[in-house]
Structure formats: C-alpha cells, structure tokens
Structure 1
Amino acid sequence: MVLRVFALLCALIGALSGAASAESVKLYLDADRTSNYASARAIEVGMRAAFDEVGHVIDGRVVEFVVLDHRANARRSQRHLQQFLTDPEAIAVVGGLHSPPYLRAKDYVNENGIPLVLPWSAAAPLTRSETERNSIFRLSLDDSKAAKIIVPQAVETDQCQNVSLVLWRSGWGESNEKTMVSEMQTLGFEAYTVRYFAGNLSMADAVSLARDLDMAGSDCAIYVGNSADAATIFAALSETQMALRIYSHWGVTGGNFETQVPAQVRDELALTFIQPCFDFDTGDALTAERLETVARTYREDFDANGYLRAPAGFFHGFDLGLLLIEALRQVDPRADIATQRAMFVAAMTQIEGPISGLLRSYSSPFSPYAPDNPDAHEALDVGDFCMARFDADDRIVTARADSF
C-alpha cells in the first residue's frame, strides 16, 4: 500500500511539474491547410528540413511537430492555442499565412507567455506589444516595411499616376492602409484612393469593384488580400480590359492562385508582388547543397526542376527553424513547461550567431522588446525583400534572379 501511494504521489508531482522529464518536445504548426495548403505545407517542409540537420533531437529530446489546420478561422486557432497551453511537452507555436487569427489572439498569447513564431503572417502590430510581456517573434515580411518596397516601385520606379489601394477588410488590410498611405505621403504622392472589399466576394462584387477603379481613372492598384479573392478580382479586372498594373502583397502566393489565374491575365495586369529575395538556382555551394538535400528528402513537394510552391513559407520556415534550434539548446529540459517556455522566449532574444540560413546569415536576429525598440522581434529587414512575378511555368521569379 505504501509503495502504491508513493507511486501515485510521484505521478502527481510529475503531472504538476509539467512533465519536466519528458523525452520529447513539441512544436505546434497552426496554419490554414484547407484554403491555403501550399503556404502551410511550405512552412512545414522548411521547418522539418531545418530540424533534419540535427536529426530532430535537441539535448536528447526528440522534436515532434503537431500539425493543425485552423482553416483561416480565428476561433479554431484560439482553440489550438488553448490546446497548446495544456500540453506539457509543447514549447512553441509556429504560425501560418493569416495575420487576423494572431491579431485577435495577440493579448492572449502574450499574457500566457505562449512563444509564437511567425514565418509568414505580416501584420505590423503582431510583434509590437503594448504590454511588458512579448513572446511573439517574426522571421517574415513586416508590413511596416512592405510599404517601403511596394510603394516606391509603383510611384517612383514605374511612375504610376493614380493608385488605388484594394484592401481586404480585416486587421491586416487596415494595417496596410496605414503603412501604404504613410509611405505615399512620405514620397509626396497624393493621387491615391482606398477601397476595401469583403472576403469571399462574388464575381458580381468584383466586377463592381473593377468598374469603380476604372471610373476613378486608376492606372495602378496595390492589392492586399489572399489568393482566392485575388483570383476573382483579377478576373473581373481582365474583363473590363482597363489598362491597370497590379502590385500585390504576397498573399496571392499562398494558395492556388497560379493555377486559378491564367498567365495571360497575370501578364495583362503586369502583376508583381513582394517576396523574400530567394533564388532556387543559387550559386552558393552550401545553399545549393542544402536545397538539393531538401528536394531529395521531400521529393513529393518539389517539381522536377527543384521548385516548391509558396517558396516564401519554405525559406522563412527553414531559417526560422535554425533559430529555434539554437534557442531550444538554451532551455533546461528539467524545468517545468511554463519555465521552459519562458526560457525559450529569453533565449530567442539572446541568439548571437552567426547562423547561416538560406536567405542570409543571422547575428543577434532578435533582442529584448521595448516600445522604443519596435523591431526587436523582427529578424528580417527591407533589404531582404524583392518584387517578383510568376514566369511562364508558374514559378515565382524574384528580382534577384530576373530583371523583369
């Protein structure tokens, strides 16, 4: 009886301590695998490939991935965060394409000390906390900087005369209105209008929007939205046969856009969009070897030419994975899980490097957050991004690899 009571007490202590002796550690992948599968899978492949380099083992603990589908639904994403908090082996959440779920959950994430790392979501407020606690990190595009790439391309390089901001009505769209308008005003450009659209809009609504742009005399439009709505809107714009150039956020690259919108329509609209400055055909020996290994390991995801759809997710996922590995090495597996998560957040701000990634070398990519240091949890900057387009084979080609 005494031995039985002792065993029960040990089990209870182990449960209360957050399974400190766990032999595995988990990363939750929270993304839209229903309507934007390409981006979710690209992030997953990038993450897995990074951990392949250490055999998916950190300090004797096996790193496991919990793959979840929030279906672009903020409530489902919230449930995944709640599930994460009850998991005694879960150390961090890796986000997906959409910003709105994390904008909605931002306070909840920080209040509960959930390490949330973002390899795609771009809304500027995500990594800027209004409270002392901030456990959200991004290795991705930051919309406070996206405008500094897209707007100058449109109004200075390409000499657009009348620009319409075509924005999905959401926190992401509203964030972009602020940054895009601010950049245009900085450049002294005043010939712009702002138009919002509701998600999942009908073709009739898209045709009405296209007519509005035509009536306004727009010769250029900056689009911020996801691929499904882009396919509808761009088809409507093509029907009007108006001379319009489209500069897009990278949301169009996360789903099936390139198969839904013919090359002819994309060319009619002179479509370009922002991307990390990657090159699958890099001349760097280490990067080329890494890409060859990944393409061989995940051959079902790469085409015969070594190309992976939604490549931004892959490149960011891989590089962010390397940083997670470094941070996990600083976490004491004997501590309770809440302490481990706090240690992980602190370790992310103390990574020194250099760590050689696919996009760049990282030295001190993050630092402790403070309101007067708003980029503390941002690993990338303006110089890491280029404008890009789809080529005739539906591959994304960046300015680094193509002169347009």
Structure 2
Amino acid sequence: MAKYCLVVLWLCFSAYALAEDKNLPTLHIYHDSDYSTHKASAIAIKMGFLTALSEVNKQSQGFELKLLSMDHRGNSNRSFLHFKRFLKDPSGLFVLGGLHSPPYIKHREFINKNQIPLLVPWAAGGPITRYDQGENWVYRLSVDDTKAGPKLVEFASKRACKKPHLLLERTPWGKSNYKSIGEALNNAQPDVTWFDWGMKANSAKIHIREMISKGSDCLLFVGNSIEGKQLVSAMADYPNDQRLPIISHWGITGGDFFSKAKVDLASGIDLHFIQSCFSFQHRPMSPTAKDVWQRAKVLFPNEFAERDFLFAPTGFIHGYDLAKVSLAALAQIKITGDMHKDRQAFKQSLENLKTPISGLIKTYQQPFSKWSSSNPDAHEALGLNDLCMAYFQSNGSTKVLVNNS
C-alpha cells in the first residue's frame, strides 16, 4: 500500500511539473491502430506505451513525447493516409503499429522507401519486418508468424492432433500463416479453408461440418476476434463428441471476444491461443511487474474499476516493452528537432543498443540489429522461446501455459 501511495504522489508531481513547462517542444508518435472494431488491442497498446513513458515524465532531452491515437478502423487505405500525414508532420518521430498485418504488408514498400520508423507491438505477419529491396525501417516486438506457425503445430502435436485443418482469413496475414504452418507440418499444401472478414456462424458451421467429414481432429485458426466469436458459436452447436479443439493465433484476443463468447466457451469449447510468455497473472509477481501494474492502475483507474486484470493484456505488455526499447534508443542519440536527421539516428540507435533493457517479457540484449537476407530475424525482438500457449479463464483473464503443455 505504501508503494502504491508513492506511485500516486510521484505521478501527481510529474503531471504538475509537466504542466508547469508548457513550452517544451513536442515529438509526435503516431499510434496507427484499430480503435473501432478491435478497440481492446488498441487501448491496451496505448496503455502499456504510456505507462512506460510516464516513468520518464513523457520526456526525452527536453522534448515532450506525445502519443497520437490514429484510428484506421481495420482499413489499409486509412492506415496509408496516416503514414502520409506522418510524413507531413515536422514533429513526427515514429509510428507505433496496431493489431492488423495487412496495412503494413500492403504498404511496406512505401513505409521503407519514405524512411518511416514503424515499431510493431502486435501485427504478426511475417513479411512486415523482412523488406529486402533497400533499407528496412520496420521493427517488431510481438509474435512473428514465421515462429507462430511452428508453435501452433507443436502444440497441436502435443495434443495428439494427427490431422489438423487450417481455417485462415483471406488476407496477406492468412497467407503468411499458410506458408509458415505448411512448413512446420512438412506439407506445402495442408488442408485449408479460407474465409473473408465478416464470416457468420452459419458459414463457420458449414466449414466445421466439412472438416469433420474429412476426418480432421483439430482446427488451426488464424483470424481476429469478430470471426473467432462466430467460430466458437458455431462449434458450440455441435455435440460434445463432435467438437474439434481450436488452436488459434492470438488475433482473437484483440477485441471483445471473451465478453461475446463466454457463454459458448463455458459449454466446454476447447480453445487455446498463442501469445508471448509473460503474464501479470503469474504469482508471485516480480518487483518490476508489481511496479508497472501499480503505475498502470493509477494512470488508468477506469480500466480497473470492475476487474483486476486487463483485456488484450499482451497489447499492454508489448506496448510497454517497446516503449522501453524506444526510450533507450532515444537516450543514445542527440535529438535535434530535425526529424529527417533524428529518424535516421533513431534507426541506427535501435540497431545498436549498448545496454540491456529491462522489460516485462525479458531483459533485452540488443533486441535489433541491421537487417539482411542472411539475418532475417534482425528486426524481431522476440524469438520462439518467448512464445507460449494460453487459454481464457472463466472470468476472462488469460492463463499462460509456460511449459506449453
């Protein structure tokens, strides 16, 4: 309790100090995310990022760091407009990404050719960080599909699934997973059903019936929360002995999936999903986790008014850790206010961090390095060992299986 009070006092003093100096020059960080249909992920990322910024009073070298919420509503073209707006902003330092992979795959060439630093705390599409036509300006601290596929297949094998069937959204993200899952299965053309955004429960039920008729014994799902809810609803309509275990990518955790699917989940649906291995639900909490948790509760009291856990918690976790990495990179350079020079210096610093960075998931030892085709994971802060499987508990919190069993 004493530590909680100290955090409150420190934050109040920090807010007062910042208010006293209203003449600080500002650096803008654009948060390009889906604040509409997958609001939980966007809010969680924002909360984690701002929690880390609060530790330095939202300042670096006499500049105020300001996070601008930019809602692309899941639309790649609207996301593209945000990047174009960023380029016209004389205070724009970098872009913080969101849940959806398609915008960053579709506009990858534009982002890199225009030298826009893009830091990704959620979108998992493999090609996002692997631009091979020039300088690579995209960095990720999140699940990476080239690792997610093998982890999903590994878990399916541990669950004695002999004949998995893939249910994938018809987007670049889905196609990215088709490739990585196929490679993990040693099958270039695994059984797959493609669906479009907006899939309804009736369509999902037909897909499930076809899988059952083919003898499939588990379902590997790559989609987001809206379609995930329809899938679970459809599966719940089948008798228990016909239901297939669902092994899912983590897109389902980015919206209001649990609140809409909890009744069906309670009927005995077997659902697991991938995510990074850290959880605030682990006990005992480390001192670092305790401090971050208390700070977040002070900063965002409304988010904890009715529960003592977060929805889309990995968004918070990745947002926090990515902010810590960003702050460390900024601390190594001299910020001039000339954004062209500062972005270049920031990029070089990200790839040459000198000191370890203590995050929630782990302590990062040079999380990024210079990208090349012979070093394809250079812009990936997390590796296969940082990924775990998880499931929803009855109250909507997530239970992480640290040993993936």
TM-score normalised by the chain length of structure 2: 0.90
What runs of 5+ residues in structure 1 fail to find an aligned partner?
1-20
* Residues 191, 325 of structure 1: alpha-carbon distance in 2 compared, 3 angstrom cutoff: closer
* Alpha-carbon distance in 2 for matches of 1:27, 1:368: 23
* Alpha-carbon distance in 1 for matches of 2:374, 2:348: 18
* Alpha-carbon distance in 1 for matches of 2:189, 2:138: 36
Contact 1:29 1:67 in 2 (8 A): yes
Contact 1:169 1:198 in 2 (8 A): yes
Q: Which amino acid aligns with 1:140?
A: S
What runs of 5+ residues in structure 2 fail to find an aligned partner?
1-22
Q: Tell me how far 1:263 sits from its aligned partner.
A: 4.5
2:6 alignment counterpart = none
Among 362, 381, 390, the alignment partner of 1:360 is 362
> In the TM superposition, what are the counterparts of 1:228-267 in structure 2 within 5 Å?
228-241=226-239, 242-265=242-265
Q: Tell me whether 1:106 sits opposite 2:82 in the alignment.
A: no
> In the TM superposition, what are the counterparts of 1:1-20 in structure 2 within 5 Å?
none
Among 20, 37, 40, the alignment partner of 2:39 is 37
* Alpha-carbon distance in 2 for matches of 1:158, 1:391: 19
* Alpha-carbon distance in 1 for matches of 2:139, 2:243: 40
Q: Tell me whether 1:205 sits opposite 2:203 in the alignment.
A: yes
Contact 1:211 1:240 in 2 (8 A): no
> In the TM superposition, what are the counterparts of 1:3-402 in structure 2 within 5 Å?
23-155=25-157, 157-185=158-186, 192-241=190-239, 242-265=242-265, 268-281=268-281, 282-283=283-284, 284-302=286-304, 306-334=308-336, 336-400=338-402
1:325 alignment partner, SS class: helix
* Alpha-carbon distance in 2 for matches of 1:334, 1:293: 31
* Residues 83, 207 of structure 1: alpha-carbon distance in 2 compared, 3 angstrom cutoff: same
> What root-mean-square deviation, in Å, do the aligned CA atoms of Structure 1 and Structure 2 show?
1.9
Max radius of gyration: which structure?
A: 1
TM-score normalised by the chain length of structure 1: 0.90
Q: Map Cα deviations across residues 155-213 of structure 1 (whole Å, 9 max, x no partner).
A: 2x11112210100000000000000010011xxx7995111111112333222212211
Q: Which amino acid aligns with 2:236?
A: S
* Alpha-carbon distance in 1 for matches of 2:131, 2:24: 32
- The percent of aligned pairs where both chains have the same amino acid is 35
* Residues 263, 204 of structure 1: alpha-carbon distance in 2 compared, 3 angstrom cutoff: closer
Higher deviation after alignment, 67-76 or 21-30: 21-30
Q: Tell me how far 1:350 sits from its aligned partner.
A: 0.9
* Alpha-carbon distance in 2 for matches of 1:269, 1:139: 30
* Alpha-carbon distance in 2 for matches of 1:191, 1:47: 40
Q: Map Cα deviations across residues 97-126 of structure 1 (whole Å, 9 max, x no partner).
A: 000011111000000000000000000111
Q: Map Cα deviations across residues 252-286 of structure 1 (whole Å, 9 max, x no partner).
A: 00001101112543663310000111221443122
Q: Which amino acid aligns with 2:379?
A: H
Contact 1:162 1:218 in 2 (8 A): yes
Q: Map Cα deviations across residues 227-258 of structure 1 (whole Å, 9 max, x no partner).
A: 10111122112213323100000000000110
* Alpha-carbon distance in 2 for matches of 1:132, 1:350: 19
Higher deviation after alignment, 82-91 or 123-132: 123-132
Aligned residues: 379
